[in-house]
Amino acid sequence: MEWSILQQYGPGLLAGFGNTVLCWLLGTIFGMALGLVIALLQRYGSRWMGWIIQVYIEIIRGTPFLVQLFVLYYGGPLVGLRLDALPAGLLGLTIYGSPYFAEIFRSGFRAVSKGQIEAARAIGMTEASIVRRILLPLALVSSLPALVNFSIILTKETVILSIITVPELMYQVQRMSTETFRYLEANLVLALFFWALVEAISNVGRRLEAHVTKHLIERT
């Protein structure tokens, strides 16, 4: 094993890691936002809107992420969508994650007891207020473990972005290994970085969970 090559490629690898975290973070945030919008539309929208959304969900969940990226990045220009690799990757990640997040939020909505919504209606709160003050906060709390879980899955999906030349970690590692033929060091780096990232996210997730459920655990 030659550690000097890690020094040489260090900056590139670090930049790659930065891009991985960036894509993952933004992809998660935008994907969650889109997923939330979808879940709310399904709950409060009209029936035909529900069908359109269901079709969207089936398509995104039924096709491989890689193929979706190809459609966006290589197929996009043919309909006027000319994106660089990184933005295309971000868009792809957002779209890919949205139906899963939407499903998580739907479960979260179901977990909010009907009685609490009724109590708000009985006082005369508007539906918008009820969603904002009662439904969303409580749904988010019960969805938290599933949200953290899926965001961890998304970290693994970011490596697929390398195939459409997004310069994230895997792309940089591939470059390093093809130029130096040092596949072992290369993949070791990859494994270590992903393990660290996943551990960090799990840790933050656990602490977040403990914090928000602080007041909800029965402890008279």
Residues forming contacts to another protein in the complex (CB under 8 A) are 58-59, 61-68, 70-71, 74-76, 78-79, 113, 115-116, 118-127, 129, 133-134, 137-138, 141, 156-157, 159-160, 162-163, 170, 174, 177, 183-184, 187, 190-191, 194-195, 198, 215-220
Cα 107 to Cα 24, 82, 156, 162, 198: the distances in Å are 23, 36, 24, 33, 24
Residue where the block lists tokens 């799990």: 202
Give least dist CB 68 to another protein, A: 7
Give least dist CB 83 to another protein, A: 14
Please give the Cα distance from 107 to 54 (Å, whole number).
15
- Looking at the Cβ atoms of 36 and 159, the one nearer to another protein is 159
- Looking at the Cβ atoms of 63 and 203, the one nearer to another protein is 63
Residues 139 and 111 sit within 8 Å (Cβ to Cβ): yes
- C-alpha count within 13 angstroms, C-beta hemisphere, residue 158: 33
- Looking at the Cβ atoms of 51 and 183, the one nearer to another protein is 183
Structure tokens at 137: 């906060």
Structure tokens at 142: 């019960």
Give least dist CB 32 to another protein, A: 19
